[in-house]
A and B are shown apart, each in its own frame.
Chain A
Amino acid sequence: MTDNWFDESDEWSDEPDDAAQDDTKIESDIESKVSDTATGERQIATLPDGRYLVLTGPGAGSALLDGTGSTEARTSIPTRDEALLTGALPMMLVHRPHQAAGVTPRLLASIVAATQGGVSLGVSAMLPSASESAITQWLSEHPAAALRLADPGCYLMDPTIVRNKPLSERTLRWAPYLGREVLDMRELLDHQRNVGANLLLSPGRALDPTNPQDSLDEAFAAADDAISELNAGERLALNLTMSTQWLTSTTLREALFAQLVDQEQFDLWHIRVQWPASLRAFQQPSDASLLGGYKRLAQLASDEERQLLLPQTGLTGWLQLGFGAAGFGAGPFGVGQAFKEHSQGGGGGNTPVPRYFEPTLLHYVERSVHDALSSQPDYETCDCPYCPALLADADWDHELARLHGLHWLGRLAALPTTSGRSIEAAIRRTVRTARRAAERQPLADISSPQHLRAWDPLL
């Protein structure tokens, strides 16, 4: 048995051509297992366009024209611009999974219901990951999402800077611009528009640490070109991709930060940092210089009133909310929670380890550890829509376990609303409580939340 729930075989590039058929099957399986209310009551929330989002009960995650017969929750879904206001609610982006993509609309609704709208949600799909029609459909299926992003992922053109799988013929078919010598900005933006994105991204080529200033200039110039191609009412985020050196090296970090502060036309930063391949599944980075770099970046964004989005960062991105980041990204699979270097030695095909996200430990523990913890008298059983079926069945349902974990990331992002504290205080308290809880348990190996020790000095 290997620890491969998040391994390379889960990358989006492994999506089969018939993924849509898989979605239908898996979605229906999950649908029958989810229990979001004891009574089956249908609860709804108002959408910006006047329709209603079904939060719980039949059709959860979908939109209704008429809310008759439903209970209206005291919450409404923000518009894109409301979500992007400085000082607005924390944001969580859910990345499109490579399989079972149909389960995410309900997941988003479950987060809205559990947090009373305490987090602004977004959905993000990689354009090179699927056909235009599949992405269009997926982005349109999330009325709970204020933000819809279609990431051009142009860092895939830079294999000498960030380590990715080689471009396949299929990827080039889905994202033909990746094969061009020169990017056509209008084509790139039109591709995003065509699939329904409402927050556009600049190309996101990887920044070269060996040629920092020229590389920064090129990335920002491309983003300037993108701004010049915007239509009325459109919004664009500066999209940057980089190796960890850009946050850990003082010289590179200062060059990056100076450029970010100087170029005030970009009020939204969508920044992706590639973590080392050596990180195991569910393992958060604990390198103090990397975490310190993230913290400084988040503080810089806050100081300068820019909105920092950290896609594919999971819990580490969530932590940055406490330092000034506006949002983070996560997904059911590993690629959504960590943007890691591609490793040749993937463990695809092995049996995944059953793991469960323990909210009080801020960590995914092995199922056996969860069983031991849950037998303790003060253990609080999870009330998410996925756990009744997950915990009742002797056979571990990895899909339900993933959704439980993602649901909880949304709840953690909403801590300011649900706890009544500032986000800094709420996160500090949650992390410290988790660390104390972990110290009381005999946790070892992959079930040990080692990241908490690295986080503590930052708080």
Chain B
Amino acid sequence: MTAPRFDSAAVAAALGARGVTFLGAGTFGDTWRVDDRAVKIICAEGYLPQRVAREVAGLSRVRSPYVVQLIDTKTVSLGGKDFPALVFEYVSGGDLQQAIDNSRIPEPDQASALLVGLLTGVRDLHRADGTVHRDVKPANVALRDGAWNQPVLLDLGLARANTETTVTIYPGLLGTTAFMAPEQLAGRRARKAADLFAVGVSVRAALVGRHPFYEPGSSYTIDEAIAKISAGPVALPPNTPELVRDVLDRLVQPAEYERGSATSNLRRLGIAE
């Protein structure tokens, strides 16, 4: 795990808490657990205030059990500087990345429930004035109480537009570019279809225990990565339910429109409005 940008004692003091636990570091900040809350302190150099505003605005519009609940926003003073902080519910049970790292492979019905939960979360986000997550990946999917059927989308809206020139598949599938849709890799705008692609890649990764397009430990140019995606994913386990297989195949299509919408994919899985 990447080290926090500030030590825990300073963070606890700044938050007025008796103790804090470091949960992880993201592109723009660190997340700490404080009692039953998770506090994300936006403390990295170069963050854009409008991105924070976008996350706050997006999350404020969403009420979904599959999207982390934003409780409050505040300003935190650390190292003589003021930083914005977002206070969320703390979702216990670990995240999808940890499940993959621990070789927890979902059973077919659990995979179906995971997919439905993620698509529902994405649908609820997209319905909130067209909010797009832009950074769906296993590390940003909490499993409430460790349950496959209760995925919760975390860390909305802070992903940078892609300026990377390579896609590196680090051990444990860390890194944002590994879950980017081809249009994001190519530097084009990330739309709703990009979230659907990332859901497809994340669920496939959970099912097969590895990235569905890239070899572990490899590094690809953007063109090579896009070619890998065009070549198609590794096969799903043979016991994957047909409806789940159909939807997962759609979600990782290179052409955005072929992925459909979250709503239409939920319908394909038999989930009515």
B235 within 8 A of A: no
Residues of A within 8 A of B191 (CB): 258, 262
Question: In the bound complex, do residue A261 and residue B267 qualify as a contact, i.e. CB atoms below 8 Å apart?
Answer: no
Number of interface residues of A (CB under 8 A): 13
A381 to chain B, nearest CB (A): 46
Known contacts being A264-B126, A305-B267, is A258 close to B256, with CB within 8 Å?
A: yes
Whether B193 lies near A258 (C-beta < 8 A) is yes
Q: How far apart sit A254 and B263, CA to CA, in the bound complex (Å)?
A: 20
Smallest beta-carbon distance A38→chain B, Å = 48
Closest-by-CB residue of A relative to B268 is A303
B247 → chain A closest CB, angstroms: 12
Can you spell out 28 A-B residue pairs with CB atoms less than 8 angstroms apart? A254-B255, A254-B256, A254-B257, A257-B257, A258-B191, A258-B193, A258-B255, A258-B256, A258-B257, A260-B257, A261-B193, A261-B256, A261-B257, A261-B259, A261-B260, A262-B256, A263-B130, A264-B126, A264-B130, A264-B261, A264-B263, A265-B130, A303-B260, A304-B261, A304-B264, A305-B263, A305-B264, A305-B267
Q: A84 CA to B192 CA in the complex, in Å? A: 26
- Interface presence of A73 (CB below 8 A): no
Which B residues, 220 to 273, have Cβ-Cβ distances below 8 Å to chain A?
A: 255-257, 259-261, 263-264, 267
Closest to A265 in B: B130
Of chain A, the residue at the smallest CB distance from B127 is A264
Interface residues in B18-44 (C-beta closer than 8 Å to A): none
Q: How large is the interface on B (under 10, 10 to 19, 20 to 34, 35 or more residues)?
A: 10 to 19
A424-447 residues with Cβ-Cβ distance < 8 A to B are none
In the complex, the chain A residue whose C-beta lies closest to that of B267 is A305
4 nearest A-B pairs in the assembled complex, by CB-CB distance: A257-B257, A258-B256, A262-B191, A258-B257
Tell me the complex Cα distance, A305–B255, Å.
19
Chain A residues closer than 8 Å to B256, beta-carbon distance: 254, 257-258, 261-262
Output the nearest chain B residue to A300 by Cβ-Cβ distance: B257
Q: In the bound complex, how far is the Cα of B131 from the Cα of A265, in angstroms?
A: 12
In the assembled complex, the Cα of A263 lies from the Cα of B129 at a distance in Å of 10
Instruction: Give chain A nearest CB distance to B182 CB in angstroms.
Output: 11
Contact of B193 among A262, A265, A300, A305 (CB under 8 A): A262
Complex CA–CA separation, A227 to B224 (angstroms): 42
Nearest residue (CB) in A for B191 is: A262
A residues 224-262 touching B (CB-CB < 8 Å): 254, 257-258, 260-262
Closest to B257 in A: A257
